[in-house]
Amino acid sequence: TGEKGSSKKVKLTNAKMGSWQTLSESSRQFLETMMDSAMLSVLCQQSVKKDDVQKHLNLLKEKVLRLFKTLKVPPRKLGNLKKIPSLQMAEKQMLEINEESLVQLQEEINEAKRSAELAEGTIEQLQDKIQMLKNQLEEDEKKARKVFQENSSRALHLPELPKCSFEVPTLQ
């Protein structure tokens, strides 16, 4: 009543239930495969006490499989269960396609990661070069200010000439 959806009551007579048949072997195998995949899904999510959970799930699986051997189902439903092998093959194909896509995506992610690392390295190198050029520019500006610094008499403060230049013999 409080749940979503609707429930439908069906009256079953013994005559109707007498025509029911047990599940076919292929249906039981498919259901067992589905249980195995569900168990693997649960076990992959478990990080603690995996062994205990696996033992418990295996016991439940065995009980359910024993019940499937004697479970009677209406004959009209068995027609739907005949489609199970083809559905199973379609699921396997989808799984393979998804796995291939996953591998391709992982390769693309790795390539993008490598490109990002290369770009990051290039950026760092360029930043280092920029800093080095800034430092060099500052030094050159300091030197230029010293050379071209003017005092109140408007005279340039040029560096002194080396003494060896005065000691050169005069030419005749």
- Ranking 3-7, 54-58, 156-160 by mean pLDDT, the lowest is 3-7
**pLDDT for residue 81:** 64
**pLDDT for residue 168:** 64
Highest mean pLDDT among 49-58, 121-130, 136-145: 121-130
Rg (CA), the chain: 43
Give tens-digit pLDDT for 70-126.
887 776 555 666 777 788 888 899 999 999 999 999 999 999 999 999 999 999 999
Span 127-137, average pLDDT: 96
Q: If DSSP states are collapsed to H, E and C, what string results for the chain? A: CCCCCCCCCCCCCHHHHHCCEECCHHHHHHHHHHHHHHHHHHHHHCCCCHHHHHHHHHHHHHHHHHHHHHCEECHHHHHHHCCHHHHHHHHHHHHHHHHHHHHHHHHHHHHHHHHHHHHHHHHHHHHHHHHHHHHHHHHHHHHHHHHHCECCCCCECCCCCCHHHCCCCCCC
User: Is the pLDDT higher at 19 or at 40?
Assistant: 40
Q: What's the gap between Cα 142 and its chain centre?
A: 53
Calculate the average pLDDT of the chain. 81
Q: Which two tokens mark 47?
A: 């990080």
**pLDDT for residue 45:** 78
**pLDDT for residue 152:** 43
Span 133-148, average pLDDT: 87
Residue pair 159/147 in contact (Cβ under 8 Å)? The answer is: yes
- Ranking 68-82, 96-110, 129-143, 148-162 by mean pLDDT, the lowest is 148-162
Q: What's the gap between Cα 9 and its chain centre?
A: 46
Q: At residue 26, does pLDDT exceed 90?
A: no
Predicted model pTM: 0.38
- Residues whose CB falls within 8 Å of the CB of residue 156, separated by 6 or more in sequence, listed in order: 147, 148, 149, 150
Span 149-157, average pLDDT: 56
